[in-house]
A and B are shown apart, each in its own frame.
Chain A
Amino acid sequence: MQILEFILSPLMALVIGILFLGLSRKIMARIHWRYGPPLAQPLIDIIRLFSQRSISHGRLFSAGLVFALAGSVVLILFLPIGRIAPLSGSGGLLVILYMMLLSPLGMALSGGQAANPNTSIGISRKLLLTLGYEVPFVLILLAVMTHFETISIVGIVERQQQTGWALFTSSLCIPGIAYLLILPAILGIRPFEMVKAAQEIASGPMVEYGGQFLALATIQHALSEFIGIALFVNLFLGGAGNPLIFFIKMLVVFSLGLFVNAALPRLRIEQAIRYLWRWPTLIAFVGLIVVLIIRR
């Protein structure tokens, strides 16, 4: 049974991640008043990319990408999806905090060997953006850990099954609002799309990826989106008893992110960091203080 959960959890995350990619293209197309590609289009893209012979720039190029993908896949094992939580007792939120940094570092490693200036600009933007959203993110996680007095995500989900969704029923609404404000930065959608800006820097870190490398990079992107939204649903929206309701909650949050993506333009990296270190950090800090006071 345990072994089954180890295989099932990343598999479900992969399927749902690719479905969300397809949904994002379809919903964006409908917002633009046009029909979009079929829902399975990212799957067709990935199959085609796997069948192309791609050109590698060296061992570190391939290794960095595999490193980033492995970081995302292992992180899925620590997140409960409904009742399926393979590595539930080991570390919880602290592990999430430091393993979320593996994907940008892996991409930076592989981008260092692709000798393309667009890659360097994209990687510098990606790492700066990570630095930008890590500050309010740590404050939010501290507030959550203080309120629930545990670092285990499964424990947090079980508490919320009894007391109700944390976003609406407790003082965690303030860090929850801060999380919603930095969610586009974690997902890499507009207004924080400067990392993969196709028109400016020819798709940033992914400019030298072709064929199989691009397939892996797309899968890694899908998984990192999954992780960002699943964390929010687990911590603030009560998780779920079974995976179906979990995915419905994820769909609602994802649609909100898509509407923001469709409406806003792209910020510059210094504007993004100025924003991320100002309002979400302030709100998360105030939320942390409120949680501390109310607990006393």
Chain B
Amino acid sequence: MNDALRKKLSSTFSDLQITAAGDGDTSITVPKGSLMSLLSFLKSQGYEHLGLISCVDWVEQKEFELIYIVSAYMSRDHEHGEQERSSIIVKTRISREEPRFLTVIPVYGNAEPYERELHELFGIHFEGHPRLIPLLLEREYPVPPFRKDFDTRKYVKEVFDSVPSLEDPEE
């Protein structure tokens, strides 16, 4: 990102870490308390498009890392010229034992399906979300399936392999 934005960020927020990710993108790591204000600030600076909300499961450190990818492809000023082709990746960490977080729908309205997906796949509860119901899956799992301590081979053996085969059916 250009230096003007970097200066603004450093002056407004005190607890950021700005590093460079690949392909010209920039990555900002914040503690979870200042995530909402950072996202509102970025949106006011022209980063109006939320591309993805993703999650990484750090099992040993007992934390989930939430990742928000925002980009400014819609802005046309010369000042934001460089930002048109790059995205900013915002990362924050929440606890794994009690995964609860605030929803970012007030800032980016299209966050609703991404947070539903994270709720059903990782088990993170987003407070303030209007419709936290399953998006893709139909079944109930003992552990949310994308967590690293979900044993998928055992689950498949129990549920799908145990269905009796009908090669030689009894009469």
Q: Tell whether any CB of A sits under 8 Å from a CB of B in the complex.
A: no
B interface residues, Cβ below 8 angstroms from A: none
